[in-house]
Amino acid sequence: MIKIVIADDHTIMREGLKRILDGAEDIEVVGEATDGFEALAQVRRGGFDLLLLDLSMPGRSGVDLIHQIKDEAPKLAVLILTMHEEEQYAVRAIRAGAQGYVTKESAGTQLVSAIRKVASGRPYISMEVAEQLALNIMVPHEKLLHEQLSDREFEVFSMLVGGKTITEIADALHLSVKTVSTHKTRIMQKMGMNSLSDMVQYAVAHRLLAPFQV
């Protein structure tokens, strides 16, 4: 039996995921988490095999949260479930230690097989993500502007272009407003941009905006 914990801040999404998994006799949902801190508490409590982790949640989240989870429980399998389809999110998550990456749009058809594969110790990633990872290793290439950002900067960038204010980002990431403002300044410097509008236009052009989430 594969025991899993679902970490997602949307109740409707968690209930939907549990319905998808109801038909799998070898998978049992033994816990839930609604933010990064609850996810870490579940990890520290243990007693399960796989963490199904939303990439964007209140509190600790994203690549930073993956790093901490793998530091504290290196053998725990982590499968990322996210609204983001762009390969850049997946590549950063895999590099941080996640074993798999599934978009919420494809969860209905791919989730069960992804859980089984990751729980068995094998990676589960799309062909596009696998190709991107291989290219990054094998083929020297000039990085795109967003690829030059650190993981934290990329997280702040994603929230900025997604419509979050600096104060909202500071609250969500448990950072000071000054720190987030500094990140924004560095992001704009690295990307050679002068305004948030420039960043949004870039994000749209490179498919870096997550679909709307209720």
- 213: in domain: no
Distances (CA, A) of 211 to 17, 35, 55, 104, 131: 18, 20, 13, 10, 23
The pLDDT of residue 178 is above 60: yes
Span 92-127, pLDDT tens digits: 888 889 999 888 888 888 899 999 999 999 999 877
**Dist. CA 77–CA 206, nearest whole Å:** 30
Average pLDDT taken over every residue of the chain: 86
For 53-74, what is the mean pLDDT? 85
Res 136: pLDDT: 64
The pLDDT of residue 38 is above 90: yes
Residues 104, 110, 111, CA angle at the centre, nearest 5°?
Answer: 70
For 190-205, what is the mean pLDDT? 91
The residue that leads in pLDDT, 130 or 124, is: 124
- 159: in domain: yes
pTM of the model: 0.70
The pLDDT of residue 129 is above 80: no
Give yes or no: residues 101 and 155 share one domain: no
- Final residue of a structural domain among 77, 110, 137: 137
CATH (domain of 60): 3.40.50.2300
Give yes or no: residues 82 and 150 share one domain: no
Res 132: pLDDT: 67
Reduce the DSSP state of residue 142 to 3 states and report it: coil
Domain that holds residue 43: 2-137
Give yes or no: residues 175 and 73 share one domain: no
For 65-71, what is the mean pLDDT? 92
- 210: in domain: no
Distances (CA, A) of 26 to 3, 8, 22, 29, 53: 9, 22, 10, 10, 19
